Amino acid sequence: MTENAAPSPRPDVRPPAVNADEPTTLLTFLDYLREAVIAKLAGLSDDDARRPGVASGTSLLWLLRHLAVVEHNWFEWAYRGVGEQPLETDEVPLGDATVADAIAAYRAAIARSNAVAAQVGADLDRPGARTLRPDGEAPSLRWVLVHMIEETGRHAGHADIIREQLDGAIGR
């Protein structure tokens, strides 16, 4: 726990109340989870954001950088077919990254991902250019969106636990 930090409970933000078409609903829930992860870094120093919360070494800063890479790999590399190789998702170096830089990079990755989804529109069945999955079949945008909801939601839960261990802050 940071020496001068006091636990700062945040009010829990409920899931979005959306009753729309499928693409809008999926992107709205994905954006909700993305913002939940970003919110877990609010008010943290760079040192605290780098501090591992579990034995595996996972930190809030690593989670955010990992999710930015995953966004790139699924939406840009796999779905759109941009680039030669996907980025490494497990060995994401922190280097001299700051919280502000990591949030900006994640938001930029989100904007690019959302632009890919917007270009496809309502045709969620349309397959992408290639896949990161071992079976070799390029998934539909629907699959990519649902997978990203699952991936981001799982890591949002990890972020909840790590943040609470750091300074006692709870809530979204």
**pLDDT for res 10:** 55
Q: What are the CB-based long-range contacts (under 8 Å, 24+) for 119-122?
A: 120/23, 121/23, 122/21, 122/22, 122/23
CA 144 to chain CA centroid, Å, is 13
Q: What is the pLDDT of residues 124-140, one digit of tens each?
A: 999 999 999 888 899 99
**Chain mean pLDDT for the chain:** 90
| Residue extents of the structural domains in the chain | 22-167
Query: 116 φ, ψ to 5°?
Result: -60, -50
**pLDDT for res 171:** 72
Q: What is the pLDDT of residues 32-88, one digit of tens each?
A: 999 999 999 999 999 999 999 899 899 999 999 999 999 999 999 999 999 999 988
**pLDDT for res 5:** 47
The CA distance from 20 to 26, in Å, is 9
Domain 22-167 sits in CATH at 1.20.120.450
Q: In the predicted model, what is the mean pLDDT of residues 91-115?
A: 93
**∠ CA(51), CA(104), CA(13), 5° rounding?**
75
The CA distance from 110 to 90, in Å, is 19
Q: Among residues 132, 171, 130, which one has the least CA distance to residue 40?
A: 171
Structure token pair of residue 57: 């070494």
Q: What is the DSSP letter of 43?
A: T
